Amino acid sequence: MFDGLIEKMGAAFKKFRSKGKLTAADVKEGMREIRMALLEADVNYKVTKEFVNRVTERAVGAEVLESIQPGHQVVKIVDEEMTKIMGGKQEKIKIASNPPTVVMLVGLNGAGKTTHAAKLALMLKKENKRPLLAACDVYRPAAVRQLEIVAEAAGAPCFSVPGEKDPVKIAEQSVKHAKQNGNDIVLIDTAGRLQIDEALMDELKRMKAAVNPHEILLVIDAMIGQESVNVAETFNNMLDITGVMLTKLDGDTRGGAALSVRYITGKPIKFVGMGEKIDALEEFFPDRMASRILGMGDILTLVDKAQAAIDEKKAEELEKKLRDQSFGLDDYLDVFEQTKKMGSMEQILSMMPGIKPGALKDAKIDEKQIARTEAIIKSMTKKEKDYPDIINASRKKRIAAGSGTNIEDINKLLKQFDQTNKMMKQFLGGGKKKKFKKLGMPF
């Protein structure tokens, strides 16, 4: 995500930091590089111009140029202004005081409305809401069936009216159904088009008038770059949207949509799709996204993921076992499985400060390693899991045959387990436990 932009920003910042003192000319030269980086990242020209002007105006001030570390001050200003461009603060869905809250999802074909309606339903369920998904796309073949499938994956009910051709009537009936069945949120999956046309907008306007939605979320594919601004402007002018959901942001190497949409429309980005899995949806935090773009990581989102994925009771049990020196390979597998819930290792590492995009490409992280680890450990006896020291050559041969691996894999696993065990004991000693727990990790 934002690979090119992160690297170019990093190069510009390096020049700022490398100088003990900055002049106005130094700032302008650095800002020229940042402007080029933003334009190459497909950020809207108006947004780029406004951003560069704001940063330059603040960065050439006496309090910056005469400070002890002017380079760091400039980076701080860039961070603050980028956060402002993207909205300043996080904005959630407005929940109606008199349920159900009605949310229309609108956008072009292929943006991901149907799958992200289900992702949003799952997120809301975790917040103890009772969402209902309404199938109002009567044009695309199998659209209703697709929504039913993803709704089932999210564990949410799906409302449809077989044979009904008017999506406005289906939307109205879905709201009535929600009131009768105790659903406090209705997520309306509307039809898209290959391009914006009068018929699409007229239908959406009629639906808006009929159900009076509390939210109209525009679903935009982040990978269409500059075009996302044009789409957002048109939908906002016609429907007065209340927010944006950016999809496929994990595949957006440029970042133009995330940096442009809020400024051009004045409407907040509320959610971002970060992958194909049903739980790959995140709330949008402008400050955290600015931090990611500037290569400073996103520890807060990493902590949120850890807290959501890690079982607190299990974490306490693992901590006790480490202290009692009874931490076995079954427990080691638990740590792997809980970490896996947080997402891919590449996603986790990308949120760590100082990790460059290029470094992740070279790392060649093997996600299949977890599956091999599971197979090896599950091929062991209980005694071998509890007391790995007893695993000799003949036992390794048997385990390798049972897990479909080789003795080298088993030796590697046992070595990693031993190193992890020692490292965790060090974290639990020497007053480091609190620091480790702040990261939301299971010890």
Give 44-85 pLDDT, tens digit per residue: 888 889 999 988 888 887 666 666 677 777 888 888 888 888
Neighbours of 345 (CB within 10 A): 17
CATH number for the 303-438 domain, one of 3.40.50.300, 1.10.4030.10, 3.40.50.1980, 1.10.260.30? 1.10.260.30
Supply the DSSP string of 35-75, one letter for each residue: HHHHHHTT--HHHHHHHHHHHHHHHTSHHHHTSS-HHHHHH
Whether the CA torsion 362, 368, 372, 373 is positive or negative: it is positive
**Band of pLDDT at residue 270, cut at 50, 70 and 90:** very high
In this structure, of 64-78, 195-209, 316-330, 345-359, the range with the lowest mean pLDDT score is 345-359
pLDDT of residue 442: 40
Residue in the structure block whose two tokens are 């809250």:
101
- How far apart are the C-alpha atoms of 373 and 343, rounded to whole Å? 17
Centroid of chain to Cα 42: 21
Q: Which fold has domain 101-294?
A: Rossmann fold (3.40.50)
Burial class (CB in 10 A: 0-12, 13-18, 19+), 215: buried
Residue 157 makes CB contacts below 8 A (sequence gap 6+) with 132, 133, 151, 181, 183
Q: How high is the pLDDT of residue 363?
A: 46
Beta-strand relationship, 158-159 and 101-106: unpaired
- Per-residue pLDDT tens over the stretch 367-400: 577 778 888 999 999 899 888 889 999 999 999 9
Least confident of 121-130, 235-244, 346-355: 346-355
pLDDT of 306 > 60? The answer is no
What confidence tens digit (pLDDT) does each residue in 96-141 have? 989 899 999 999 888 889 999 999 999 999 999 999 999 999 888 8
If one looks up domain 3-85 in CATH, what number appears? 1.20.120.140
What is the domain partition of the chain in residue ranges?
Answer: 3-85, 101-294, 303-438
pTM: 0.67
123-132, 138-147, 226-235: least confident range: 226-235
CA–CA dist 187, 185 (Å, integer): 6
21-26, long-range: CB within 8 Å, 24+ apart, which pairs? 21/65, 21/70, 22/59, 22/64, 22/65, 22/70, 22/71, 22/74, 23/65, 24/60, 24/65
- Which residue, chain included where needed, has tokens 């070279």? 362
Percent of the chain residues topping a pLDDT of 70: 76
